[in-house]
Structure 1
Protein backbone atom coordinates (compact mmCIF):
# COMPACT_ATOMS: atom_id res chain seq x y z
CA UNK A 1 0.00 0.00 0.00
CA UNK A 2 1.39 3.41 -1.00
CA UNK A 3 1.78 5.87 1.85
CA UNK A 4 -0.48 8.88 1.62
CA UNK A 5 1.12 12.34 1.56
CA UNK A 6 1.27 14.24 4.83
CA UNK A 7 -1.41 16.88 4.23
CA UNK A 8 -0.97 20.17 6.08
CA UNK A 9 -3.29 23.16 5.78
CA UNK A 10 -1.66 26.58 5.63
CA UNK A 11 -2.54 30.24 5.35
CA UNK A 12 -1.76 30.97 1.70
CA UNK A 13 0.30 34.08 2.55
CA UNK A 14 2.62 31.97 4.75
CA UNK A 15 3.29 29.76 1.75
CA UNK A 16 4.39 32.89 -0.14
CA UNK A 17 1.26 33.59 -2.13
CA UNK A 18 0.64 37.32 -2.60
CA UNK A 19 -2.84 37.40 -1.10
CA UNK A 20 -2.52 39.85 1.80
CA UNK A 21 -4.53 43.05 1.94
CA UNK A 22 -1.57 45.00 0.55
CA UNK A 23 -0.79 42.46 -2.15
CA UNK A 24 2.14 41.07 -0.19
CA UNK A 25 2.87 37.78 1.57
CA UNK A 26 4.37 36.42 4.82
CA UNK A 27 6.49 33.59 3.43
CA UNK A 28 7.95 31.44 6.21
CA UNK A 29 11.39 29.99 5.39
CA UNK A 30 11.19 26.92 7.64
CA UNK A 31 7.75 25.97 6.35
CA UNK A 32 8.66 26.38 2.70
CA UNK A 33 12.30 25.33 2.55
CA UNK A 34 12.41 22.54 5.15
CA UNK A 35 9.02 21.22 6.22
CA UNK A 36 7.78 21.54 2.65
CA UNK A 37 10.18 18.79 1.58
CA UNK A 38 8.16 16.25 3.57
CA UNK A 39 4.54 17.41 3.48
CA UNK A 40 1.92 18.49 0.98
CA UNK A 41 0.41 21.89 1.69
CA UNK A 42 -3.22 22.87 1.27
CA UNK A 43 -3.14 26.70 1.00
CA UNK A 44 -6.25 28.68 1.92
CA UNK A 45 -6.84 32.43 2.26
CA UNK A 46 -10.24 32.99 3.91
CA UNK A 47 -10.46 36.60 2.71
CA UNK A 48 -9.91 35.66 -0.92
CA UNK A 49 -12.23 32.66 -0.48
CA UNK A 50 -15.18 34.94 0.38
CA UNK A 51 -14.50 37.12 -2.63
CA UNK A 52 -12.42 39.96 -1.20
CA UNK A 53 -10.04 41.51 -3.75
CA UNK A 54 -6.24 41.81 -3.76
CA UNK A 55 -5.28 44.40 -2.67
CA UNK A 56 -8.16 45.28 -0.33
CA UNK A 57 -9.08 47.47 2.59
CA UNK A 58 -7.59 46.39 5.92
CA UNK A 59 -9.98 44.57 8.26
CA UNK A 60 -10.12 44.04 12.01
CA UNK A 61 -12.15 42.38 14.75
CA UNK A 62 -14.53 44.59 16.73
CA UNK A 63 -16.30 43.58 19.92
CA UNK A 64 -19.97 44.41 19.73
CA UNK A 65 -22.59 43.74 22.40
CA UNK A 66 -23.13 40.06 21.70
CA UNK A 67 -20.64 39.15 18.99
CA UNK A 68 -17.21 39.69 17.49
CA UNK A 69 -17.56 41.41 14.13
CA UNK A 70 -15.15 41.43 11.19
CA UNK A 71 -15.25 44.85 9.59
CA UNK A 72 -13.15 47.23 7.54
CA UNK A 73 -10.72 49.17 9.71
CA UNK A 74 -11.83 52.59 8.49
CA UNK A 75 -15.47 51.81 7.78
CA UNK A 76 -17.36 49.66 10.30
CA UNK A 77 -20.38 49.55 8.00
CA UNK A 78 -18.46 47.22 5.68
CA UNK A 79 -19.18 44.02 7.67
CA UNK A 80 -17.80 40.64 6.57
CA UNK A 81 -18.73 38.70 9.70
CA UNK A 82 -21.55 36.57 8.34
CA UNK A 83 -19.75 35.73 5.11
CA UNK A 84 -16.56 34.77 6.98
CA UNK A 85 -18.38 32.71 9.59
CA UNK A 86 -20.34 30.86 6.91
CA UNK A 87 -17.20 30.09 4.91
CA UNK A 88 -15.25 29.09 8.03
CA UNK A 89 -17.89 26.68 9.29
CA UNK A 90 -18.28 25.11 5.85
CA UNK A 91 -14.54 24.79 5.17
CA UNK A 92 -13.77 23.35 8.63
CA UNK A 93 -16.56 20.80 8.14
CA UNK A 94 -15.11 19.88 4.73
CA UNK A 95 -11.62 19.46 6.18
CA UNK A 96 -12.89 16.89 8.67
CA UNK A 97 -13.26 14.44 5.78
CA UNK A 98 -9.57 14.77 4.83
CA UNK A 99 -6.58 13.11 6.52
CA UNK A 100 -5.36 16.57 7.51
CA UNK A 101 -2.35 16.30 9.83
CA UNK A 102 -1.69 19.92 10.79
CA UNK A 103 -2.30 23.57 10.02
CA UNK A 104 0.01 26.59 9.92
CA UNK A 105 -1.89 29.86 10.35
CA UNK A 106 -0.87 33.49 10.01
CA UNK A 107 -0.25 35.22 13.35
CA UNK A 108 -2.26 38.30 14.37
CA UNK A 109 -4.66 37.91 11.45
CA UNK A 110 -8.34 38.68 12.23
CA UNK A 111 -9.25 35.55 10.29
CA UNK A 112 -6.31 33.19 10.84
CA UNK A 113 -4.63 34.26 14.09
CA UNK A 114 -4.51 31.51 16.72
CA UNK A 115 -4.12 33.68 19.81
CA UNK A 116 -3.65 37.26 21.01
CA UNK A 117 -5.45 38.73 18.02
CA UNK A 118 -6.46 42.36 18.56
CA UNK A 119 -10.15 42.91 19.25
CA UNK A 120 -11.18 46.57 19.18
CA UNK A 121 -13.80 48.24 21.36
CA UNK A 122 -14.35 51.99 21.24
CA UNK A 123 -10.91 53.58 21.67
CA UNK A 124 -8.83 50.63 22.78
CA UNK A 125 -7.91 47.11 21.74
CA UNK A 126 -7.46 43.91 23.72
CA UNK A 127 -5.16 41.14 22.53
CA UNK A 128 -7.53 38.35 23.50
CA UNK A 129 -9.07 37.29 20.21
CA UNK A 130 -8.87 34.35 17.82
CA UNK A 131 -9.26 34.69 14.06
CA UNK A 132 -12.77 33.72 12.93
CA UNK A 133 -11.54 31.00 10.58
CA UNK A 134 -9.03 29.46 12.99
CA UNK A 135 -11.67 29.50 15.72
CA UNK A 136 -13.79 27.15 13.60
CA UNK A 137 -10.79 24.89 12.98
CA UNK A 138 -10.22 24.66 16.73
CA UNK A 139 -13.86 23.91 17.45
CA UNK A 140 -14.53 21.39 14.70
CA UNK A 141 -11.11 19.69 14.59
CA UNK A 142 -9.94 19.78 18.23
CA UNK A 143 -7.36 17.04 17.60
CA UNK A 144 -5.63 18.95 14.80
CA UNK A 145 -2.13 20.42 15.43
CA UNK A 146 -2.42 24.16 14.72
CA UNK A 147 0.49 26.57 14.99
CA UNK A 148 1.19 30.16 14.01
CA UNK A 149 3.96 31.05 11.57
CA UNK A 150 5.73 33.35 14.04
CA UNK A 151 5.78 30.78 16.84
CA UNK A 152 7.58 28.35 14.55
CA UNK A 153 10.76 30.41 15.08
CA UNK A 154 10.88 28.98 18.61
CA UNK A 155 12.89 25.72 18.70
CA UNK A 156 10.64 24.00 21.24
CA UNK A 157 7.34 25.03 19.66
CA UNK A 158 8.57 24.10 16.18
CA UNK A 159 9.71 20.64 17.28
CA UNK A 160 6.46 20.04 19.15
CA UNK A 161 4.32 21.01 16.17
CA UNK A 162 6.27 18.84 13.73
CA UNK A 163 6.16 15.90 16.16
CA UNK A 164 2.37 16.17 16.31
CA UNK A 165 2.01 16.43 12.54
CA UNK A 166 4.06 13.30 11.86
CA UNK A 167 2.46 11.41 14.75
CA UNK A 168 -1.06 12.10 13.50
CA UNK A 169 -0.06 11.00 10.01
CA UNK A 170 1.39 7.81 11.47
CA UNK A 171 -1.91 7.21 13.28
CA UNK A 172 -3.87 7.54 10.04
CA UNK A 173 -1.43 5.33 8.14
CA UNK A 174 -1.37 2.70 10.90
CA UNK A 175 -5.14 2.39 11.10
CA UNK A 176 -5.81 2.51 7.37
CA UNK A 177 -9.28 2.16 5.90
CA UNK A 178 -10.31 -0.90 7.93
CA UNK A 179 -8.73 -0.49 11.38
CA UNK A 180 -8.70 -3.27 13.95
CA UNK A 181 -8.17 -3.28 17.70
CA UNK A 182 -4.77 -4.87 17.08
CA UNK A 183 -3.76 -1.94 14.86
CA UNK A 184 -4.54 0.49 17.66
CA UNK A 185 -2.72 -1.57 20.29
CA UNK A 186 0.36 -1.80 18.06
CA UNK A 187 0.29 1.93 17.37
CA UNK A 188 -0.05 2.77 21.05
CA UNK A 189 2.83 0.46 21.90
CA UNK A 190 5.13 2.42 19.58
CA UNK A 191 4.19 5.71 21.25
CA UNK A 192 4.36 4.75 24.92
CA UNK A 193 7.66 6.49 25.61
CA UNK A 194 6.66 9.48 23.48
CA UNK A 195 3.54 9.90 25.62
CA UNK A 196 5.60 9.51 28.78
CA UNK A 197 7.79 12.41 27.66
CA UNK A 198 4.92 14.72 26.76
CA UNK A 199 2.23 13.96 29.34
CA UNK A 200 2.80 11.23 31.97
CA UNK A 201 -0.79 11.45 33.16
CA UNK A 202 -2.14 10.90 29.64
CA UNK A 203 0.39 8.08 29.20
CA UNK A 204 -1.32 6.28 32.08
CA UNK A 205 -4.92 7.15 31.16
CA UNK A 206 -4.52 6.22 27.48
CA UNK A 207 -2.84 2.98 28.56
CA UNK A 208 -5.84 2.09 30.71
CA UNK A 209 -8.13 2.99 27.81
CA UNK A 210 -6.28 0.74 25.36
CA UNK A 211 -6.34 -2.11 27.89
CA UNK A 212 -10.17 -2.21 27.70
CA UNK A 213 -10.52 -1.49 23.99
CA UNK A 214 -12.79 -4.52 23.55
CA UNK A 215 -15.40 -2.78 25.69
CA UNK A 216 -15.73 0.03 23.13
CA UNK A 217 -17.38 0.46 19.78
CA UNK A 218 -14.23 0.68 17.61
CA UNK A 219 -15.17 3.87 15.75
CA UNK A 220 -16.00 5.62 19.02
CA UNK A 221 -12.73 4.40 20.54
CA UNK A 222 -10.68 5.74 17.62
CA UNK A 223 -12.27 9.18 17.88
CA UNK A 224 -11.70 9.37 21.64
CA UNK A 225 -8.17 7.96 21.39
CA UNK A 226 -7.18 10.37 18.60
CA UNK A 227 -8.33 13.34 20.65
CA UNK A 228 -6.64 12.17 23.85
CA UNK A 229 -3.44 11.22 22.02
CA UNK A 230 -3.13 14.53 20.20
CA UNK A 231 -3.98 16.57 23.29
CA UNK A 232 -1.26 14.70 25.16
CA UNK A 233 1.35 15.50 22.52
CA UNK A 234 0.35 19.16 22.57
CA UNK A 235 2.08 19.31 25.96
CA UNK A 236 5.69 20.13 25.28
CA UNK A 237 8.13 17.47 26.46
CA UNK A 238 10.02 18.85 29.45
CA UNK A 239 13.69 18.21 30.20
CA UNK A 240 12.59 16.34 33.33
CA UNK A 241 10.20 14.05 31.42
CA UNK A 242 12.73 13.48 28.64
CA UNK A 243 15.31 12.52 31.23
CA UNK A 244 12.86 10.02 32.72
CA UNK A 245 12.31 8.46 29.30
CA UNK A 246 16.04 8.29 28.62
CA UNK A 247 16.53 6.48 31.92
CA UNK A 248 13.84 3.99 30.88
CA UNK A 249 15.89 3.23 27.78
CA UNK A 250 18.97 2.94 29.95
CA UNK A 251 17.25 0.35 32.13
CA UNK A 252 16.66 -1.95 29.19
CA UNK A 253 20.41 -2.06 28.48
CA UNK A 254 21.59 -2.96 31.97
CA UNK A 255 22.38 -6.57 31.05
CA UNK A 256 24.08 -5.76 27.76
CA UNK A 257 26.33 -2.76 28.32
CA UNK A 258 29.81 -2.95 29.79
CA UNK A 259 30.64 -0.93 32.88
CA UNK A 260 32.29 1.74 30.73
CA UNK A 261 29.32 1.91 28.36
CA UNK A 262 26.88 2.25 31.26
CA UNK A 263 28.98 5.06 32.67
CA UNK A 264 29.11 6.79 29.29
CA UNK A 265 25.33 6.63 28.84
CA UNK A 266 24.68 7.80 32.39
CA UNK A 267 27.01 10.77 31.90
CA UNK A 268 25.41 11.80 28.61
CA UNK A 269 21.92 11.62 30.13
CA UNK A 270 23.16 13.59 33.14
CA UNK A 271 24.68 16.25 30.88
CA UNK A 272 21.39 16.53 28.99
CA UNK A 273 19.46 16.89 32.26
CA UNK A 274 21.79 19.72 33.27
CA UNK A 275 21.40 21.46 29.91
CA UNK A 276 25.00 20.86 28.85
CA UNK A 277 24.06 18.66 25.87
CA UNK A 278 21.05 18.74 23.51
CA UNK A 279 18.52 15.89 23.46
CA UNK A 280 20.10 14.67 20.24
CA UNK A 281 23.21 13.49 22.14
CA UNK A 282 21.65 10.81 24.41
CA UNK A 283 19.19 9.78 21.69
CA UNK A 284 22.04 9.22 19.24
CA UNK A 285 23.97 7.17 21.78
CA UNK A 286 20.90 5.05 22.58
CA UNK A 287 20.37 4.38 18.87
CA UNK A 288 24.03 3.38 18.63
CA UNK A 289 23.63 0.86 21.46
CA UNK A 290 20.41 -0.43 19.91
CA UNK A 291 22.34 -1.23 16.74
CA UNK A 292 24.81 -3.20 18.87
CA UNK A 293 22.21 -4.84 21.13
CA UNK A 294 18.90 -5.03 19.22
CA UNK A 295 15.64 -4.87 21.16
CA UNK A 296 12.38 -5.06 19.22
CA UNK A 297 10.32 -3.02 21.67
CA UNK A 298 12.86 -0.22 21.94
CA UNK A 299 13.61 -0.13 18.23
CA UNK A 300 9.96 0.53 17.37
CA UNK A 301 9.64 3.48 19.77
CA UNK A 302 8.85 6.57 17.71
CA UNK A 303 10.38 8.70 20.45
CA UNK A 304 13.78 7.91 18.94
CA UNK A 305 12.85 9.31 15.52
CA UNK A 306 9.45 11.04 15.47
CA UNK A 307 10.15 12.80 12.15
CA UNK A 308 12.87 12.79 9.46
CA UNK A 309 16.31 13.50 10.87
CA UNK A 310 16.92 15.94 7.99
CA UNK A 311 14.70 18.47 9.78
CA UNK A 312 17.39 18.73 12.52
CA UNK A 313 14.90 19.76 15.18
CA UNK A 314 16.56 18.24 18.25
CA UNK A 315 19.80 20.18 17.85
CA UNK A 316 18.56 23.05 20.00
CA UNK A 317 16.52 21.11 22.58
Structure 2
Protein backbone atom coordinates (compact mmCIF):
# COMPACT_ATOMS: atom_id res chain seq x y z
CA UNK A 1 0.00 0.00 0.00
CA UNK A 2 1.21 3.50 -0.86
CA UNK A 3 1.45 6.02 1.92
CA UNK A 4 -1.46 8.47 2.08
CA UNK A 5 -0.01 11.95 2.54
CA UNK A 6 -1.99 15.16 2.89
CA UNK A 7 -0.62 18.17 1.04
CA UNK A 8 -1.50 21.78 0.37
CA UNK A 9 -2.81 21.73 -3.21
CA UNK A 10 -0.61 24.65 -4.32
CA UNK A 11 2.49 22.53 -3.61
CA UNK A 12 1.37 20.11 -6.33
CA UNK A 13 1.31 22.94 -8.87
CA UNK A 14 -2.43 23.60 -8.63
CA UNK A 15 -3.17 27.29 -9.24
CA UNK A 16 -5.20 27.86 -6.11
CA UNK A 17 -3.25 30.60 -4.33
CA UNK A 18 -4.78 33.99 -3.65
CA UNK A 19 -2.91 35.49 -6.62
CA UNK A 20 -3.92 32.70 -9.00
CA UNK A 21 -0.49 31.08 -8.83
CA UNK A 22 1.02 27.99 -7.20
CA UNK A 23 4.07 26.98 -5.13
CA UNK A 24 4.98 23.67 -6.74
CA UNK A 25 7.43 21.72 -4.61
CA UNK A 26 10.08 19.97 -6.72
CA UNK A 27 10.82 17.45 -3.97
CA UNK A 28 7.15 16.53 -3.52
CA UNK A 29 6.53 16.31 -7.27
CA UNK A 30 9.65 14.34 -8.20
CA UNK A 31 11.38 12.41 -5.42
CA UNK A 32 8.47 11.75 -3.07
CA UNK A 33 5.53 11.36 -5.44
CA UNK A 34 6.37 7.82 -6.70
CA UNK A 35 6.13 6.53 -3.11
CA UNK A 36 2.94 8.21 -1.89
CA UNK A 37 -0.70 8.89 -2.68
CA UNK A 38 -1.39 12.57 -2.18
CA UNK A 39 -4.59 13.91 -0.64
CA UNK A 40 -4.61 17.52 -1.86
CA UNK A 41 -6.48 20.24 0.03
CA UNK A 42 -6.81 23.99 -0.27
CA UNK A 43 -8.77 25.13 2.78
CA UNK A 44 -9.28 28.64 1.43
CA UNK A 45 -10.76 27.40 -1.83
CA UNK A 46 -12.79 24.80 0.06
CA UNK A 47 -14.64 27.46 2.06
CA UNK A 48 -15.57 29.29 -1.14
CA UNK A 49 -13.01 32.07 -1.25
CA UNK A 50 -12.26 31.53 -4.94
CA UNK A 51 -9.12 32.10 -7.02
CA UNK A 52 -7.81 34.73 -7.32
CA UNK A 53 -9.02 36.35 -4.10
CA UNK A 54 -8.13 39.20 -1.76
CA UNK A 55 -5.30 38.21 0.61
CA UNK A 56 -6.06 37.24 4.20
CA UNK A 57 -4.06 37.32 7.41
CA UNK A 58 -4.07 36.18 11.03
CA UNK A 59 -5.21 38.96 13.35
CA UNK A 60 -5.33 39.05 17.15
CA UNK A 61 -8.31 40.89 18.57
CA UNK A 62 -8.74 42.61 21.95
CA UNK A 63 -9.82 39.31 23.51
CA UNK A 64 -6.51 37.74 22.34
CA UNK A 65 -8.40 35.54 19.87
CA UNK A 66 -6.70 34.72 16.58
CA UNK A 67 -9.01 35.50 13.68
CA UNK A 68 -8.65 34.86 9.95
CA UNK A 69 -9.60 38.09 8.20
CA UNK A 70 -9.25 39.86 4.89
CA UNK A 71 -6.29 42.23 4.77
CA UNK A 72 -8.10 45.26 3.32
CA UNK A 73 -11.33 44.78 5.24
CA UNK A 74 -10.95 42.96 8.56
CA UNK A 75 -14.73 42.89 9.01
CA UNK A 76 -14.67 40.04 6.48
CA UNK A 77 -13.89 37.22 8.92
CA UNK A 78 -13.36 33.63 7.72
CA UNK A 79 -12.48 32.09 11.08
CA UNK A 80 -15.74 30.26 11.72
CA UNK A 81 -15.95 28.97 8.15
CA UNK A 82 -12.39 27.62 8.35
CA UNK A 83 -13.02 25.95 11.70
CA UNK A 84 -16.22 24.35 10.42
CA UNK A 85 -14.40 23.08 7.32
CA UNK A 86 -11.59 21.63 9.45
CA UNK A 87 -14.06 19.92 11.79
CA UNK A 88 -15.75 18.41 8.75
CA UNK A 89 -12.72 17.03 6.91
CA UNK A 90 -10.20 16.17 9.64
CA UNK A 91 -12.00 13.06 10.96
CA UNK A 92 -11.52 11.50 7.52
CA UNK A 93 -7.73 12.00 7.67
CA UNK A 94 -6.98 9.59 10.51
CA UNK A 95 -5.11 7.17 8.23
CA UNK A 96 -2.72 9.78 6.82
CA UNK A 97 0.98 9.07 7.29
CA UNK A 98 1.89 12.76 7.21
CA UNK A 99 1.09 16.19 5.83
CA UNK A 100 3.09 18.73 3.82
CA UNK A 101 1.78 22.27 4.26
CA UNK A 102 2.48 25.59 2.57
CA UNK A 103 4.80 27.81 4.59
CA UNK A 104 3.70 31.29 5.73
CA UNK A 105 0.08 30.66 4.79
CA UNK A 106 -2.51 32.03 7.28
CA UNK A 107 -4.52 28.85 6.73
CA UNK A 108 -1.77 26.21 6.19
CA UNK A 109 1.46 27.55 7.71
CA UNK A 110 2.97 25.32 10.40
CA UNK A 111 4.95 28.01 12.24
CA UNK A 112 6.19 31.59 12.03
CA UNK A 113 3.10 32.90 10.20
CA UNK A 114 2.82 36.69 10.40
CA UNK A 115 0.40 37.83 13.08
CA UNK A 116 -1.17 41.31 13.19
CA UNK A 117 -3.19 43.37 15.62
CA UNK A 118 -6.44 45.15 14.76
CA UNK A 119 -4.56 48.31 13.79
CA UNK A 120 -2.64 46.38 11.13
CA UNK A 121 0.68 46.39 12.99
CA UNK A 122 2.70 43.20 12.77
CA UNK A 123 3.12 41.37 16.09
CA UNK A 124 5.85 39.11 14.75
CA UNK A 125 6.05 35.73 13.08
CA UNK A 126 4.27 33.89 15.85
CA UNK A 127 1.18 32.42 14.22
CA UNK A 128 0.10 29.00 12.98
CA UNK A 129 -2.27 28.62 10.04
CA UNK A 130 -5.83 28.00 11.22
CA UNK A 131 -6.30 24.72 9.34
CA UNK A 132 -2.88 23.36 10.30
CA UNK A 133 -3.38 24.32 13.94
CA UNK A 134 -6.53 22.18 14.08
CA UNK A 135 -4.82 19.39 12.15
CA UNK A 136 -1.95 19.21 14.66
CA UNK A 137 -4.27 19.50 17.64
CA UNK A 138 -6.42 16.61 16.44
CA UNK A 139 -3.46 14.42 15.42
CA UNK A 140 -0.50 15.46 17.62
CA UNK A 141 1.49 12.41 16.51
CA UNK A 142 1.16 13.13 12.77
CA UNK A 143 4.35 14.13 10.89
CA UNK A 144 3.69 17.65 9.57
CA UNK A 145 6.27 19.67 7.67
CA UNK A 146 6.41 22.83 5.57
CA UNK A 147 7.59 22.94 1.98
CA UNK A 148 10.33 25.47 2.74
CA UNK A 149 11.82 23.42 5.58
CA UNK A 150 12.11 20.42 3.25
CA UNK A 151 15.04 22.18 1.58
CA UNK A 152 17.04 21.47 4.75
CA UNK A 153 18.65 18.03 4.34
CA UNK A 154 18.38 17.05 8.01
CA UNK A 155 14.75 18.16 8.33
CA UNK A 156 13.83 16.46 5.06
CA UNK A 157 15.41 13.16 6.07
CA UNK A 158 13.76 13.35 9.48
CA UNK A 159 10.32 14.02 7.99
CA UNK A 160 10.58 11.14 5.51
CA UNK A 161 11.75 8.79 8.26
CA UNK A 162 8.70 9.73 10.35
CA UNK A 163 6.43 9.44 7.32
CA UNK A 164 7.33 5.80 6.63
CA UNK A 165 7.39 4.90 10.33
CA UNK A 166 3.93 6.37 10.85
CA UNK A 167 2.61 4.45 7.82
CA UNK A 168 4.09 1.25 9.22
CA UNK A 169 2.34 1.76 12.56
CA UNK A 170 -0.91 2.67 10.80
CA UNK A 171 -0.76 -0.67 9.02
CA UNK A 172 -0.28 -2.43 12.36
CA UNK A 173 -3.38 -0.67 13.68
CA UNK A 174 -5.36 -1.54 10.56
CA UNK A 175 -4.54 -5.23 10.87
CA UNK A 176 -5.76 -5.30 14.47
CA UNK A 177 -3.63 -4.01 17.31
CA UNK A 178 -2.32 -6.50 19.88
CA UNK A 179 0.46 -6.55 22.47
CA UNK A 180 2.25 -9.25 20.50
CA UNK A 181 2.25 -7.14 17.32
CA UNK A 182 3.44 -4.12 19.29
CA UNK A 183 6.37 -6.11 20.71
CA UNK A 184 7.36 -7.19 17.20
CA UNK A 185 7.02 -3.62 15.87
CA UNK A 186 9.06 -2.16 18.71
CA UNK A 187 11.73 -4.80 18.21
CA UNK A 188 12.16 -3.72 14.57
CA UNK A 189 12.38 -0.04 15.44
CA UNK A 190 14.60 -0.16 18.54
CA UNK A 191 17.79 1.04 16.88
CA UNK A 192 16.05 3.69 14.76
CA UNK A 193 14.53 5.17 17.92
CA UNK A 194 17.93 4.96 19.64
CA UNK A 195 19.46 6.98 16.79
CA UNK A 196 16.97 9.77 17.44
CA UNK A 197 16.69 9.70 21.22
CA UNK A 198 18.46 7.29 23.60
CA UNK A 199 16.17 8.54 26.39
CA UNK A 200 13.00 7.80 24.40
CA UNK A 201 14.50 4.43 23.48
CA UNK A 202 14.59 3.47 27.17
CA UNK A 203 11.16 4.95 27.93
CA UNK A 204 9.48 3.15 25.02
CA UNK A 205 11.18 -0.05 26.12
CA UNK A 206 9.64 0.31 29.59
CA UNK A 207 6.24 1.05 28.08
CA UNK A 208 6.33 -2.13 26.00
CA UNK A 209 7.60 -4.17 28.96
CA UNK A 210 4.60 -2.96 30.99
CA UNK A 211 2.16 -3.27 28.08
CA UNK A 212 -0.22 -5.66 29.86
CA UNK A 213 -0.84 -3.08 32.58
CA UNK A 214 -2.59 -0.78 30.10
CA UNK A 215 -5.95 -0.82 28.40
CA UNK A 216 -5.28 -1.93 24.82
CA UNK A 217 -6.78 1.18 23.20
CA UNK A 218 -4.81 3.44 25.56
CA UNK A 219 -1.58 1.55 24.88
CA UNK A 220 -2.12 1.73 21.11
CA UNK A 221 -2.38 5.53 21.11
CA UNK A 222 0.19 6.18 23.83
CA UNK A 223 2.85 4.19 22.00
CA UNK A 224 2.01 5.97 18.72
CA UNK A 225 2.31 9.40 20.34
CA UNK A 226 5.56 8.65 22.21
CA UNK A 227 7.08 6.80 19.24
CA UNK A 228 6.44 9.63 16.78
CA UNK A 229 7.59 12.23 19.31
CA UNK A 230 10.87 10.32 19.69
CA UNK A 231 11.47 10.23 15.95
CA UNK A 232 10.79 13.95 15.67
CA UNK A 233 14.07 14.60 17.45
CA UNK A 234 16.89 15.01 14.97
CA UNK A 235 19.52 12.29 14.98
CA UNK A 236 23.19 13.28 15.15
CA UNK A 237 26.56 11.78 14.29
CA UNK A 238 26.98 10.97 17.97
CA UNK A 239 23.69 9.06 18.25
CA UNK A 240 24.22 7.30 14.92
CA UNK A 241 27.72 6.27 15.99
CA UNK A 242 26.28 4.87 19.21
CA UNK A 243 23.82 2.73 17.23
CA UNK A 244 26.51 1.61 14.79
CA UNK A 245 28.68 0.45 17.70
CA UNK A 246 25.74 -1.54 19.09
CA UNK A 247 25.24 -3.19 15.68
CA UNK A 248 28.95 -3.93 15.42
CA UNK A 249 28.69 -5.87 18.68
CA UNK A 250 26.47 -8.47 17.01
CA UNK A 251 29.43 -9.53 14.83
CA UNK A 252 32.17 -9.66 17.45
CA UNK A 253 32.33 -13.47 17.33
CA UNK A 254 32.30 -13.75 13.53
CA UNK A 255 34.70 -10.98 12.48
CA UNK A 256 38.46 -11.25 12.51
CA UNK A 257 40.51 -8.79 14.53
CA UNK A 258 41.38 -6.90 11.36
CA UNK A 259 37.73 -6.69 10.27
CA UNK A 260 36.63 -5.44 13.68
CA UNK A 261 39.30 -2.73 13.61
CA UNK A 262 38.31 -1.72 10.08
CA UNK A 263 34.63 -1.36 11.02
CA UNK A 264 35.47 0.46 14.25
CA UNK A 265 37.64 2.88 12.27
CA UNK A 266 34.82 3.59 9.80
CA UNK A 267 32.41 4.31 12.64
CA UNK A 268 34.89 6.62 14.38
CA UNK A 269 35.72 8.48 11.16
CA UNK A 270 31.99 8.93 10.54
CA UNK A 271 31.50 10.23 14.10
CA UNK A 272 34.27 12.79 13.54
CA UNK A 273 32.63 14.01 10.33
CA UNK A 274 35.14 12.58 7.85
CA UNK A 275 32.80 10.01 6.25
CA UNK A 276 29.12 9.84 5.32
CA UNK A 277 26.78 7.52 7.22
CA UNK A 278 26.61 5.15 4.27
CA UNK A 279 30.29 4.20 4.70
CA UNK A 280 29.93 2.25 7.98
CA UNK A 281 26.36 1.22 7.07
CA UNK A 282 27.52 -0.38 3.83
CA UNK A 283 30.20 -2.32 5.70
CA UNK A 284 27.63 -3.52 8.25
CA UNK A 285 25.31 -4.60 5.45
CA UNK A 286 28.20 -6.51 3.89
CA UNK A 287 28.86 -8.40 7.12
CA UNK A 288 25.13 -9.05 7.52
CA UNK A 289 25.09 -10.69 4.09
CA UNK A 290 27.98 -12.93 5.20
CA UNK A 291 26.62 -13.85 8.61
CA UNK A 292 22.88 -14.30 8.69
CA UNK A 293 21.22 -12.56 11.64
CA UNK A 294 17.44 -12.37 11.38
CA UNK A 295 17.12 -9.90 14.24
CA UNK A 296 19.51 -7.42 12.62
CA UNK A 297 18.12 -7.99 9.13
CA UNK A 298 14.68 -6.94 10.40
CA UNK A 299 15.95 -3.63 11.84
CA UNK A 300 14.26 -0.65 10.19
CA UNK A 301 17.33 1.44 11.03
CA UNK A 302 19.21 -0.17 8.17
CA UNK A 303 16.67 1.14 5.64
CA UNK A 304 13.96 3.37 7.16
CA UNK A 305 12.65 4.42 3.72
CA UNK A 306 13.23 3.46 0.06
CA UNK A 307 16.86 3.75 -0.96
CA UNK A 308 15.80 5.49 -4.19
CA UNK A 309 14.94 8.62 -2.20
CA UNK A 310 18.69 9.12 -1.75
CA UNK A 311 18.43 10.88 1.60
CA UNK A 312 21.26 9.27 3.54
CA UNK A 313 24.64 10.76 2.83
The answer, yes or no, to whether TM exceeds 0.5 is yes
Which runs of at least 4 in structure 1 moved beyond 4 Å after TM superposition? none
Question: Aligned match of 2:124 in 119, 123, 126?
Answer: 126
2:58 matched to 1:61? yes
Instruction: Show the counterpart of 1:304.
Output: 302
Instruction: Show the counterpart of 1:168.
Output: 166
For 1:152-231, list aligned pairs within 5 A: 152-231=150-229
For 1:1-317, list aligned pairs within 5 A: 4-66=1-63, 67-96=65-94, 99-121=95-117, 122=119, 123-315=121-313
Matched residues in 2 for 1:305 and 1:54: separation? Answer: 42
Aligned residues: 310
Structure 1 gap segments, 5+ residues each:
none
Quote how far apart the aligned CAs of 1:107 are. Answer: 0.3
Matched residues in 2 for 1:124 and 1:212: separation? Answer: 50
- Tell me whether 156-165 or 61-70 shows the greater mean CA deviation: 61-70
Quote how far apart the aligned CAs of 1:242 are. Answer: 0.7
Structure 2 gap segments, 5+ residues each:
none
Matched residues in 2 for 1:79 and 1:176: separation? Answer: 40
CA RMSD of aligned residues (A): 1.1
Matched residues in 2 for 1:261 and 1:201: separation? Answer: 31
Quote how far apart the aligned CAs of 1:261 are. Answer: 1.3
State whether residues 92 and 141 of structure 1, in contact with CA within 8 Å, keep that contact through their aligned partners in structure 2. Answer: no
- Can you list the C-alpha shifts for 1:100-155, whole angstroms capped at 9, x where unaligned? 10000000000000000000123233100000000001100001000000000000
TM normalised by structure 2 equals 0.97
State whether residues 114 and 122 of structure 2, in contact with CA within 8 Å, keep that contact through their aligned partners in structure 1. Answer: no
State whether residues 103 and 145 of structure 1, in contact with CA within 8 Å, keep that contact through their aligned partners in structure 2. Answer: yes
Matched residues in 1 for 2:286 and 2:13: separation? Answer: 40
Cα distance, 1:124–1:214 mapped onto 2, change above 3 Å:
closer
